[in-house]
Amino acid sequence: MPERPELVPGTLIMLVLRVLQTGPLHGYAISQRILQVSGEVLQVEEGSLYPALQKMLMKGWVEAEWGVSATKRRVRFYSLTPSGRHQLTAELSGYNNMTEAIQAVLKFA
């Protein structure tokens, strides 16, 4: 099994927020969506996904609601709150600034 690259620290919450932008998802679905969209590169471990989700619940960025998954299991669906959308915008712009800056250094240094 090839070594998977580590998730860039501090980006997990941003990724989850972004994934939830399209609509409510349950925990497993969130990790699957990130995995698929990233082309099987970004694997989110449960040990980091659930603490992140709890933190987002605590901050009030997402809301949770019990529902039934496609495989008929009782799961919890997470959806963005208005303050979660704000947070996503803020994190995105911060991230963009950061990557541009890093790119600039890499290109012109």
CB nearer another protein, residue 43 or residue 103:
43
CB nearer another protein, residue 27 or residue 88:
27
Residue 40: CB minimum distance to another protein, A: 11
Structure tokens at 20: 């939830």
* Of residues 20, 5, 7, 8, the one with CA closest to residue 88: 20
Backbone angles phi, psi at 2, to 5 degrees: -65, 150
Q: Which amino acid is at 103?
A: Q
Residue 100: CB minimum distance to another protein, A: 31
CB nearer another protein, residue 14 or residue 57:
57
Is 85 buried (19+), middle (13-18) or exposed (0-12) by CB count in 10 A?
A: middle
Residue 89: CB minimum distance to another protein, A: 19
* Whole-number Cα distances in Å, 89 to 15, 72, 83, 94: 12, 34, 10, 8
- In the complex, the residues that contact another protein under the rule CB under 8 A are 26-28, 31-32, 43, 45-47, 50-51, 54-55, 57-60, 66, 69, 71, 73-76
CB nearer another protein, residue 51 or residue 97:
51
Residue 50: CB minimum distance to another protein, A: 5
